[in-house]
Amino acid sequence: MSQQPLESRLAGLKEESLPELPEVVHTRMEETYRMIVERDEASLEEAPDKDISKHRSKRSWLFRLMISAASVAAGLVIIVSLGFISPAMAETLKQLPFMESVFRLVGDAGLQKANKAGLTTNIQQSVTQDGTTISVSEQMYDGSRLSLVLTRIQADGGDKGKWLDLTRMGEEAGGINNIEFRVNGKSVNTGNAMASGGTGAPDSVIVTALSGVNLQLPEQFDLTMLVSINGIDQPFRFEFPVSKNTLGDLVLVPGEVKVHDHIHLRVTRLELSQTSTRLLTEVTGDPGADIKAIEEAIPDKYRQQGSFIFWFELWDGQGQEAVMVDGSSSGNRHTISQSSVFEPFEKRPESIIIKPYVWKDGHKLYIPELEITVPVK
């Protein structure tokens, strides 16, 4: 997800942060992601057994970890197996029934389609440190997002709970503390969303990344991933090539602008494929207004704890809503840009309805005056 020389293209990979309220905005986004995913998981636990697989395919993957592009010292003392898994590791994995494909078992609708269509790639790399082995087993890149499976195995058996639960606890030993991504050797400023393997694959997480607003990635690149684990001094390092694989690409550039309550909303791009739907938007204020002026002009009903963050629902003409997978925002002095990634629609719709909303006191407050319908041609 350019024709520029490689150096200039990579130099543009880092997303700008909002100059006025970056910490407030990012903190609020993380709190909202956490609230939504915990609500969805509570609903999943209450569902009858026969409905669990149905609920899993519809759950929102909105637990987001904001990742800083920190540099990491060289010379790591680790045991690395690149391109294959050691015999001992392979023997252990044989005992785990879910290892055939976590994408197929608990992935969203797009990942399941990608797996079925042969658009996923088996990585099979493992790194061992301090009695813990982390492996990357499969990945999918469709130009809108990169999704991959991380699995943790501890020599002493370790914690038997869900790996993602440790990560949510912050500094709990064994949880994922940070993931740094490097494209062709250059760090990229990108966050990531994580989904648990659930009861079927509790030691696995599906990581979704590289969906940021300003990331301009080539169709093929070498990815380096540094996974930091609480309680382990050095990060786990993985390196593997990534190639874009997708089905039925369609890119729409509507450019339509809606204005209401000093909010100027523009849909800049809508990407549709069989594996993802990605929405790119821009929010500006009245002519000449900077971020601070936009905040001051927007009515209090759209703000929570002093910040304003817009979210979006996508609907087709038959009343079907796309499930959100990932989201991120960036900005400059006058513009807030957002990238929202959704599961693909079951069938390509004739039109897509974009419904903006804000979270207010734990509930969605829709803004129908900013609703936009995009014909799909």
Q: How many helices (H) and strands (E) does the chain have?
A: 8, 21
Residues 6+ apart with CB under 8 A from 245: 114, 119, 120, 121, 140, 141, 142
Alpha carbon distances (Å) from 142 to 146, 167, 195, 244, 342: 7, 27, 18, 5, 13
- Coil vs helix vs strand at 185: coil
Per-residue pLDDT of the chain (377 residues; tens, 9 = 90+): 433 333 333 333 334 333 443 444 444 454 444 444 444 444 444 444 434 333 333 333 333 333 332 322 223 223 333 334 444 444 444 444 344 689 988 899 999 999 999 999 999 899 999 989 999 999 999 999 999 999 998 766 555 568 988 888 878 888 899 999 999 999 998 888 899 888 888 899 999 999 888 888 999 999 999 999 999 999 999 999 999 998 778 999 998 899 999 999 999 999 999 999 999 999 998 988 888 888 888 888 888 777 778 899 999 988 999 999 988 888 788 898 999 999 999 899 999 999 999 988 889 999 999 999 999 97
Separation between Cα atoms, residue 352 and residue 338, nearest integer Å? 18
Cβ pair 256, 264 in contact under 8 A: no
250-375 topology per CATH:
Immunoglobulin-like (2.60.40)
Structure tokens at 185: 């050797």
Cβ pair 341, 126 in contact under 8 A: no
Separation between Cα atoms, residue 179 and residue 201, nearest integer Å? 21
What is the enclosing helix (H) or strand (E) of 279?
strand 277-284
* R_g (Cα) of the chain, nearest Å: 21
What number of other Cβ atoms are within 10 A of residue 216's Cβ? 12
Separation between Cα atoms, residue 39 and residue 60, nearest integer Å? 10
The reported pLDDT for the residue numbered 65 is: 33
Q: DSSP class of residue 361?
A: T
The reported pLDDT for the residue numbered 135 is: 95
**pTM for the predicted model, two decimal places:** 0.70
Numbered ranges of CATH 2.60.40.1640 in the chain? 250-375
The reported pLDDT for the residue numbered 314 is: 97
What number of other Cβ atoms are within 10 A of residue 96's Cβ? 15
